[in-house]
Amino acid sequence: MTHRVHKLICSFFLSCCMLPTSAQAMDIKLKLINQSHDINNSSIVIFQKNVAEDFDETAIAWRVIQNLGFQDYHPFTYPLNFRVGAGDAWGNYTPDFAATGGQRWEMVRDQSGDVLKLSSTPATNPDEVEIFNALSMGAISGNIYRDGKLVARTTNISPSQKAVFKFLPVIFIGAVSQVEEGDVMDSAVISEINTEINLLGIRCADIIMTGGGGGPDATQFQFNLANINKC
């Protein structure tokens, strides 16, 4: 094998190693298209469930899409990775940090005050992210952000306690009223949102909204994927 051939082979394998892994893959590009007969200018809410803890019939409104007219579309992004942050008992909030499965983050007291730091101790489960309250006093909140918007929160984490987060590539979507982004939705609101969309293996897709109308011909809103991976 000549030196030139050997160099070309090494360059090939190096470029292969630099290709994106599943954890580094591009964010999922989605587009909600209104093909419904909605007559009430309904708002569309999208949220996720934290599957690491028991679902207690509340969730955070991650996205709320408003004033989407007939045949209009609303593009948005679902990042595969999320970020973590925390709030303390004094009403302060930390910056948010990129997080991956298996990490444990700790709220600690340093010379400046309460700060969130990555722990040298990993999470118990490699698929989960933990936010641990290492303060001697005062409860904290653990906050998860996706695409810069709050997607999950656990409050009242006492000292020496932790919140655990894990998400499947699944979103829930439905038409609601009087809900804003970041709101905590209770079971009554969640019961109106009955469509689950699995994003596993999807790079891009349209979400087609149909149904609606008025009077005896009105039907429930439906949300279905179309044009999957036709980027």
**Domain contains 175:** yes
Q: What is the pLDDT of residues 52-62, one digit of tens each?
A: 976 556 789 99
Domain assignment present for residue 19? The answer is no
Do 198 and 178 lie in one domain? The reply is yes
Give the model confidence (pLDDT) of 71-118 as tens digits: 999 999 999 999 999 999 999 999 999 999 999 999 999 999 999 999
> Whole domain around residue 98: which residue ranges?
82-165
Q: What is the pLDDT of residues 128-178, one digit of tens each?
A: 999 999 999 999 999 999 999 999 999 999 999 999 999 999 999 999 888
Domain endpoint, select from 143, 165, 187: 165
| In a domain? residue 4 | no
Report the pLDDT value the prediction gives residue 178, as an integer from 0 to 100: 84
- Angle CA(34)–CA(197)–CA(123) in degrees, nearest 5? 135
41, burial (CB in 10 Å: exposed 0-12, middle 13-18, buried 19+): exposed
Q: Do 175 and 194 meet the contact criterion of CB atoms below 8 Å apart?
A: no
Task: Decide if 231 is inside a domain.
Answer: no
Residue 153 sits in the same domain as residue 113: yes
Our CA angle for 148, 224, 206, nearest 5°, is: 55
User: Which amino acid is residue 25, in one-letter code?
Assistant: A
Q: What is the mean pLDDT of residues 188-197?
A: 86
| C-beta of residue 212 within 8 angstroms of C-beta of residue 221 | yes
195 shares its domain with 144: no
Confidence of residue 191 (pLDDT cuts 50, 70, 90): confident
Find, among 196, 94, 200, the residue nearest to 144 by Cα.
Answer: 94
> pLDDT at residue 23 above 80?
no
Q: Read off the tokens for 144.
A: 């998860």
